[in-house]
Structure 1
């Protein structure tokens, strides 16, 4: 039988995605996934995932957003839900619009979860050359295509979200043959694999979520790569040396913390690519980077999201 997990999701507003994600991070759950109501693919995926709980997302309105994470059966789910509800109440008292702020728990079998959304996950071109291809699809590549074989499983990172799209575009633009690349919060491994296929000599990717680590390792194998290493842990615990590029597609608050440490892992003239930043938090992240002596090299916006490429002075 496939492995069973408990999915805990919060129905909220788009404007509250960041603080609600922070609640899950406070539980030391790093595999936080966001379903963005502005993303057509996410809407389709939502309609399926809600079937597990017999709930229709659209009854919450067009601006409803979902933030979710997965927990083991051994976790005290009742305690976790009470903690989340308490934190949502605190956010309301702070004047933050958290929307419906409904907390829903659902038992999810990996096998069932995967089967229900695969029909909507199709081969997608990102940037000019990178093609993200589900491992179960057939695709006839064009000249100069960089094809990434992917099965995200229950990990974040299909390539369809704006934050991932912008990171791939940055990697396509900046990765040079022979580069060393570090991927922080790798999720499905999509960015690590992309960096390798774009010419990086060595890629090290880390994630605190064991589900993501397993998915990323499987995806590296699907792509027959020997220069990509996936590690369980955080940046300071498992990465040594310095990279030409560090990419982190996480959330604004985590990136602000990383800004103080990331310089120790960047070579001279190295590039820090940060994404997962809701547009309302752009200035906060820029300010944190400038404080740590980074120079903003390029900023991209897509939908309600921002990606920033910066270099040290």
Structure 2
């Protein structure tokens, strides 16, 4: 079957945090996948799921704080794997972790993560994923019960298992990410990761030693209570998906629950913070 997609190319000024909010609202409306670029983001939805008035409920498009314009086009189904082969370059983190697609040569580093990203977030190229890998590199995760919230491709859950974490829950609200995480978990021969499609409501009656949440500032703040309710005593939480100037906002909320900053990594103004619950 020849599936067609509708693609919306959004130009966003200022880009952040508007792009993050826009992606969240579009995802709730039914858009399947997103590709960020220098000007904003391109969002995709299957033609069969599209309707002419679906952008009317996207609140941020009516905001006076941001200038957002867009154009749309019908896109014939393409071979996404072929597109990624042309555009996805392998990366290395601290000469210890390789993140690559199946068609890339294995550089034989200590950790080798094989990701077929398709259109899910989390190839390691984005600053936030890269920094989260750096945090996890420094941690002893042996037998730590771990949550990867907003798992995208599943890359951080996969790396956590490589570092000895178990059991691991990987959760994403996006169906494309859910399916892609399942594929990547199998591809990396992981046996301790359970992948779920959903949001923070899945965290009721759960407890974790380590929580990884690489999402965005607004969702982190909105779901903070859920994260704290399931973080074990002496547990660790890693937050990323926001900028250096957002640290006071995040820290003010987290400090209400008795957590303290242990380490901050910054990369191109993006930050990843490690908190300890003592």
TM-score (norm 1): 0.79
Structure 1 gap ranges (5+):
38-64
After superposition, residues 102-181 of structure 1 pair within 5 angstroms as: 102-108=69-75, 111-142=78-109, 145-181=110-146
CA contact 1:178–1:200 (8 Å) conserved in 2: yes
Q: Structure 2: 5+ residue runs without aligned partners?
A: none
Distance in 2 separating the partners of 1:163 and 1:36: 15
- Aligned residue number for residue 57 of structure 1: none
**1:227 aligned to which of 192, 207, 215:** 192
Q: For 1:56-67, list aligned pairs within 5 A.
A: 65-67=39-41
2:21 maps to 22
- 1:227-251 deviations in Å (ceiling 9; x for gaps): 1111111233266531111001110
Q: Could you tell me how far apart the structure 1 residues matched to 2:161 and 2:60 are?
A: 40
Judge which range, 234-243 or 25-34, deviates more: 25-34
Name the SS for the 2:15 alignment partner.
helix
Is the 2:21–2:60 Cα contact (8 Å) retained in structure 1?
Answer: no
The separation in 2 between residues aligned to 1:235 and 1:174, in whole angstroms, is 25
Larger CA deviation: 197-206 vs 69-78: 69-78
Matched residues, number: 276
Q: How big is each residue's C-alpha offset from its partner over 1:34-61, in whole Å with a ceiling of 9 and x where there is no partner?
A: 6353xxxxxxxxxxxxxxxxxxxxxxxx
CA RMSD of aligned residues (A): 2.4
* Alpha-carbon separation, structure 1, partners of 2:199 and 2:175: 12
Distance in 1, matches of 2:227 and 2:275, equals: 11
The alpha carbon displacement at 1:218 in A equals 0.4
Measured at CA, do residues 31 and 171 of structure 1 come closer, stay the same or move farther in structure 2, by a change above 3 Å? farther
Corresponding residue to 2:52 among 78, 86, 93: 78
Query: Which is helix-richer, 1 or 2?
Result: 1
Q: Given that residues 32 and 67 in structure 1 are in contact (C-alpha distance below 8 angstroms), is that contact kept between their aligned partners in structure 2? A: no
TM-score by length of 2: 0.89
Rounded to whole Å, the distance in 1 between the matches of 2:266 and 2:60 is 30
- CA deviations 1:233-270 (Å, max 9, x no partner) are 12332665311110011100011122222122111111
More divergent stretch after superposition (281-290 vs 184-193)? 281-290
